[in-house]
Amino acid sequence: MLFTRDIGIDLGTANTLVYQKGKGIILREPSVVAYDVRNDAVRAVGTEAKEMIGRTPGSIVAVRPLKHGVIADYDVTAAMLKRFIKEALKGSIISKVRVVICVPAGVTEVESRAVHGVLKQAGASDVDIIEEPMAAAVGAGLPVWQAKGCMIADIGGGTTEVAVISLGDIVTAQSVRTAGDDLDEAIIGYIRKKYNLLIGERTAEQIKIEIGSALPYEDEKTVEIKGRNLLDGLPKNIVISSEEVREAMSDTVAVIVDTIKTTLEKTPPELSADIIESGITLTGGSSMLRGLAELIRQETNMPVAIAENPIDCVVEGTAKRLEPGHRFDNYVFRRGRHYR
């Protein structure tokens, strides 16, 4: 029997999540592709490809085809999505695939159409595109359909999306292409400058997760890292402290906090009063950086809470769009984009 399959996709710079109607989140993979440069054949996607970063021979390249929330390599992104969609629909006999996908609030029409085109190339027959902060707010369970202001800050790998939402629409929003990847790059740059040591993206990410923080904390730690000495080219070990990592990330963290403060400054007074009461909700993987929620609270004097499942909120929001009787119709008509 042939039928239409509905899926929601959170196409993130760092990770891609796929939600299948009736089954929940069925795929959660890094947004990485490894391909053979000799014939452009895809060798691996997702976790398998991420393990290859920095470890491939010259004939194989492992890349992240999205940068700052938008498509940087069209064909590689299409190949990745095709693999992910095929995996999601494994064992099904289908005639059509309907996809709901999210994009950063600040994307251009050209970037939005690139997302549509890449999904069509990957096999989708019908595409709805909605903005990430709206999906994140719905997925976090905020009362977005009420005449009450609620504020969401979705801090992912490539972008930070901040929005104030009321009556099912975005009232004001800020989108900056600064987020978790920039924290990693800041750590790489700091270690290179201070210790003349070159480390890779995966090492920087691990340092951030293990000892990174936005504020000082009890029992601060150190971690031993390995890299290549830029002076003699030989392998070298060093020990780096959480204080150093915090210093390395401070400028990037400040950009994220300033984006939230700027959004608050542009919020109408009545909605600001609502936010003082309900607070700011954080979603996205980078929202879990130790001490970040507390720093935002200190800088804004607002209650701040991290959503229950911050990494899943965006894809959970797309899932609501797939449900019968959903309340997205007016939103999609006014702000979203629908392509066939």
CA-to-CA distance for 286 and 148, rounded, in angstroms?
27
**pTM of the predicted model as reported, rounded to 2 decimal places:** 0.91
Q: What share of the chain is helix, strand, coil (3-state, %, to 5)?
A: 40, 30, 30
Please say whether the beta carbons of 272 and 142 come within 8 A.
no
Residue 258: CB partners within 8 Å, gap ≥ 6? none
Residue 66: CB partners within 8 Å, gap ≥ 6? 11, 12, 13, 31, 72, 77, 158
The tokens describing 307, both together, are 């959503």
pLDDT of residue 121: 87
For residue range 70-84, list pLDDT tens digits in order: 888 888 898 899 888
The tokens describing 10, both together, are 């959170």
Find the angle CA(175)-CA(303)-CA(311) to the nearest 5 degrees: 50
Average pLDDT for 52-76: 86
* Span of 113-127, 221-235, 277-291 with lowest mean pLDDT: 113-127
The tokens describing 208, both together, are 């951030």
Please say whether the beta carbons of 168 and 144 come within 8 A.
yes
Cβ atoms within 10 Å, residue 73: 17
Say what percent of the chain tops pLDDT 90: 64
DSSP state, residue 148: S
Cβ atoms within 10 Å, residue 184: 27
The tokens describing 249, both together, are 């990330």
Whole-number average pLDDT of the chain: 90
Is the dihedral angle over the CA atoms 181, 187, 192, 198 positive or is it negative? negative
| DSSP secondary structure string for all residues of 47-108 | HHHHTTTT---TTEEEE--EETTEES-HHHHHHHHHHHHHHHTTT---SEEEEEEEE-TT--
C-alpha 43: how far from its chain's center? 24
For residue range 161-185, list pLDDT tens digits in order: 999 999 988 999 999 999 999 999 9
DSSP state, residue 191: H
pLDDT of residue 303: 96
CA-to-CA distance for 139 and 156, rounded, in angstroms?
15
